[in-house]
Copies of this chain bind each other. A is one copy, B any other.
Amino acid sequence: MKAPIDFYFDFSSPYGYLASRKIEPLAAKHSRTVKWRPMLLGAAFKATGAAPLPSIPLKGDYAKRDFLRSARFHDVQFRLPDPFPISTVAACRAFYSLETEVDRIKLAKALFSAYFVDNLNIGEAENVLKVASGIGLRPDVNDQAVKDKTRAEVEAALAKGVFGSPYIVIDGEPFWGVDRFDQIERWLREPF
């Protein structure tokens, strides 16, 4: 039994969203499962000194164009939401408040679609709960134990070196970006 693939992402990350639509078929093809690990890019940005893409001169304009083109390239439905980016603390807490992997992944997919397809602001806790309730889930975003767990997960991600989204780790080998899926695919066949 091979180890699961660690899939770190931020719910506000367009490239994380694109990766979320591609990683499971890819993993399954290589008899792997995927451990979904939402984190908070804002915390990583404090460590690296990075800033949200749209706020960066030159790079911001390019990024907006590249989000759209990359979505077309990967054949994934996408619109740039407004507002963008957003804080995803509530989304993260809702995810980690759920008990089972199945429920967590179901919620993660629904939240990504709500934000990047339906333009629902999942930065608002009430919208997170609405999305969850629409698929029969009742996460808790206010419980202190959930807050502590979320913080611990984000800190653990930083401690592992996670600085961007998506950030994928396969048997200890890190890959940053949906544009590393070609390398991931080869690595899953055979490390090079």
- Closest chain B CB from A63 CB (angstroms): 9
Question: What are 10 A-to-B residue pairs whose CB atoms are below 8 Å?
Answer: A44-B58, A48-B56, A49-B51, A58-B158, A58-B163, A62-B176, A66-B180, A69-B192, A73-B182, A73-B192
Indicate which residue in B176, B179, B180 contacts A180 across the interface (CB closer than 8 Å).
B179
Q: Is the CB of B179 within 8 A of A61?
A: no
Interface residues of A (CB under 8 A from B): 44, 47-51, 56-59, 61-62, 65-66, 69-70, 72-73, 158, 161-164, 174, 176-177, 179-180, 182-183, 186, 192
Among A58, A62, A180, A182, find the residue whose CB has the most chain B CB atoms closer than 10 A.
Answer: A58
Residue of B nearest to A51 (CB): B49
Contact of A177 among B61, B179, B182, B186 (CB under 8 A): B179
Write the nearest CB–CB distance from A42 to chain B, whole angstroms.
14
Structural contact, A58 and B62, CB atoms closer than 8 A: no
The 9 lowest CB-CB distance pairs between A and B, nearest first, are A179-B179, A58-B163, A59-B163, A58-B161, A73-B183, A48-B59, A47-B57, A48-B56, A72-B192
